[in-house]
C-alpha cells in the first residue's frame, strides 16, 4: 500500500483564491527586483529585471482579463500592487543604470597643473 504524502499541520495551506494568487505574484516580483532579503546575510539579491518585467506584465494581463469581475477590494489590491511594482521597477532600473554609468560615462580627468585664475567676471574675459 502506498503511503499518502502528509502535509505538516504546522503550516496550514492558504485558501486558493484570487487574493492569494495576486499576493503570490506581488511577492515573487519583489524578490525578482531584489527588494526582499531572506536569511541573515547582508548580501543584496541581484535584480532580474527581465523576469520582473514579465511578472508585472502577467499581473497586468490578469487585471485586464478580470476587469468587471472583481470585488472593490480585489480591484484595489491589483491596481495598487501594479502601481507600486511599476514604480519600484523604474527605481531599480535607474539605480542599476547609475551604478554602471559612473565607470563608463566619467570623462578621464586631465592633469592640469596650471594655476586657476578666477576673475570678477566669472572667467568670461570681459573688462570691468
**What string of pLDDT tens digits covers the 128 residues of the chain?**
555 666 566 788 889 999 999 999 999 999 999 988 777 766 677 899 999 999 999 999 999 999 999 999 999 999 999 999 999 999 999 999 988 876 555 555 666 666 656 666 655 665 54
CA distance 27 to 82: 12
Residue 79 · residue 52 · CB < 8 Å: no
Q: For residue 83, which phi and psi values (nearest 5 degrees)?
A: -60, -45
Residue 118 lies in a domain: no
Q: Which domain holds residue 86?
A: 18-36+46-103
Residue 109 lies in a domain: no
**How many domains in the chain?**
1
Residue 8 lies in a domain: no
Residue 94 lies in a domain: yes
CA distance 44 to 41: 8
Residue 27 lies in a domain: yes
Residue 6 lies in a domain: no
Residue 13 lies in a domain: no
Residue 95 lies in a domain: yes
Amino acid at each position: 500500500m502506498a503511503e499518502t504524502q502528509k502535509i505538516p499541520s504546522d503550516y496550514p495551506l492558504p485558501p486558493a483564491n484570487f487574493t492569494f494568487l495576486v499576493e503570490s505574484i506581488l511577492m515573487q516580483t519583489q524578490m525578482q527586483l531584489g527588494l526582499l532579503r531572506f536569511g541573515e546575510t547582508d548580501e543584496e539579491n541581484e535584480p532580474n529585471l527581465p523576469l520582473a518585467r514579465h511578472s508585472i506584465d502577467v499581473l497586468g494581463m490578469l487585471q485586464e482579463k478580470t476587469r468587471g469581475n472583481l470585488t472593490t477590494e480585489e480591484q484595489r489590491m491589483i491596481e495598487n500592487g501594479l502601481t507600486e511594482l511599476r514604480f519600484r521597477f523604474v527605481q531599480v532600473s535607474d539605480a542599476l543604470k547609475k551604478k554602471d554609468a559612473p565607470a563608463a560615462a566619467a570623462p578621464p580627468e586631465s592633469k592640469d597643473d596650471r594655476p586657476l585664475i578666477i576673475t570678477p567676471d566669472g572667467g568670461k574675459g570681459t573688462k570691468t
